[in-house]
Amino acid sequence: MSDDHPKRGSKPKSFFQRFSALFDSEPETQEQLLEILHGARERGLIDDDALSMIEGALQVASLKARDLMVPRAQMDVVDIAQSPEEFIPFVMETNHSRFPVVEEGRDHVIGILLAKDLLHYYTEKDFDVRDNLRPAVFIPESKPLNVLLREFRESRNHMAIVVDEYGGVSGLITIEDVLEQIVGDIEDEHDYDEDEDNIIADRGGRFRVRALTEIEQFNEFFNVALSDEDADTIGGLVTSTLSRMPRRGDKIVLDSFEFEVLRADARQVHVLMVRPLTKEELELLQAKEDKEDN
Q: Convert the pLDDT of each residue in 157-212 to its tens digit.
A: 899 999 998 889 999 999 988 887 777 665 554 454 445 578 888 777 889 898 99
DSSP classification of residue 95: -
* Mean pLDDT of all residues belonging to the chain: 81
- 211 and 160 within one domain: no
Q: Which residue has the higher pLDDT, 194 or 20?
A: 20
Q: Which residue has the higher pLDDT, 145 or 15?
A: 145
Whether residue 85 is contained in a domain is answered as: yes
Domain with 119, as residue range(s), is: 66-182
Where does a domain end: 63, 82, 101? Answer: 63
Other CB atoms within 10 Å distance of the CB of residue 65: 24
Helices 48-60 and 175-183: angle between axes, nearest 10 degrees:
130
Say what the pTM is: 0.57
Spatial distance between the Cα atoms of 270 and 234, rounded to a whole number of angstroms:
10
Q: Cα 159 to chain center, whole Å? A: 14
User: Residue 143: which pLDDT band, with cuts at 50, 70 and 90?
Assistant: very high
SS3 45: coil
Whether residue 285 is contained in a domain is answered as: no
Residue 23 is predicted with a pLDDT of: 53
Whether residue 294 is contained in a domain is answered as: no
- 207 and 105 within one domain: no
SS3 208: strand
Whether residue 224 is contained in a domain is answered as: yes
Where does a domain end: 48, 63, 78? Answer: 63
pLDDT average, residue stretch 116-136: 90
- 170 and 76 within one domain: yes
